Amino acid sequence: MTEETTTGGAGRRVRVVLVDDHRMFRTGVQAEIGRTETTGVEVVGEAADVDQAVTVITATRPEVVLLDVHLPGGGGVEVLRRCASLMSAPENPVRFLALSVSDAAEDVIGVIRGGARGYVTKTITGADLVDSVFRVQDGDAVFSPRLAGFVLDAFASTDAPPVDEDLDRLTQREREVLRLIARGYAYKEIAKQLFISVKTVESHVSAVLRKLQLSNRHELTRWATARRLV
């Protein structure tokens, strides 16, 4: 990282959580990009494993998470899975940028499929990392040039997933409610996790049952389990 790290835009600010199991690396990133008055980046939390990451991200609701791929507790993919509802929130969604030493195919594809908006390696300069954070905050996909070509090639060589017309009838929010219902969550728990009311949860469940022509949550659970959505 360089001494030339500058702000991502005049007056702009972005709240960031750092997730990496190496404390010294987190300290270095914090020192490099966390000088808020200069860079516009405010580091609002840090985490060293999956459980800590989910707790800190949920509590602080940052705009961007810098996420290491290899973490104790299941790795970056597990963090993405457990933060899926935050990523798809209609307002102020949390966006993830992978920051890893690895450029292995399985690591890159895994986190991108999990919902990360980009992937940069730890060789990136401080200035470029700040720029990447702001671009991810804006909703852009960010990759180093070599990784961008690699990701395109990897997805081009992958067979497209089969179309599930039943599942496609559901909205993104209805799919989230479906998945939580199938995992055995009560309406109150779902409402708390998705930051919506219990009545809204009930409305989504009714819509899901109607669209899938199912009668109750037990049938819904079997349906979701058969499609490995749980």
Q: Are residues 50 and 92 in the same domain?
A: yes
The predicted model gives 170-186 an average pLDDT of 81
Same domain (yes/no): 200, 151: no
Question: Which residue matches tokens 């990784």?
Answer: 147
Give the three-class secondary structure for 95: strand
How many domains does the chain divide into?
2
Residue 2's pLDDT is 47
pLDDT digits (tens, 9 = 90+) for 131-158: 999 999 998 889 877 777 667 776 665 5
Does 4 map to a domain? no
Alpha carbon dihedral 81, 82, 87, 93, in 10-degree steps, equals -160
Span 9-17, average pLDDT: 84
Tell how far CA 27 is from the center of its chain. Answer: 22
Return the higher-pLDDT residue of 168 and 58.
58
6: nearest Cα among 134, 138, 191, 137? 134
Residue 4, class by beta-carbon neighbours within 10 Å (0-12 exposed, 13-18 middle, 19+ buried)?
exposed
In a shared domain, residues 128 and 211: no
Tell me: do 123 and 177 sit in the same domain.
no
Range of the domain at 150: 14-156
Residues 146 and 171 grouped into a single domain: no
Last residue of a domain, one of 108, 130, 156: 156
Eight-class DSSP state of 161: P
Query: Does residue 220 share a domain with residue 117?
Result: no
What CATH code is carried by the domain that includes residue 55? 3.40.50.2300
Q: Is residue 3 part of a domain?
A: no
122 with 186, same domain: the answer is no
Query: Do 152 and 172 lie in a common domain?
Result: no
Bridge-partner residues for 121, per DSSP?
100
H or E stretch at 137? helix 126-137
Distance CA 73, CA 151 (A): 26
Residues 78 and 138 in one domain: yes
Helix/strand/coil for 5: coil
Report DSSP state, residue 208. Answer: H
pLDDT at 57: 97
Tell whether 24 and 88 lie within a shared domain: yes
The verdict on residue 8 lying in a domain is no
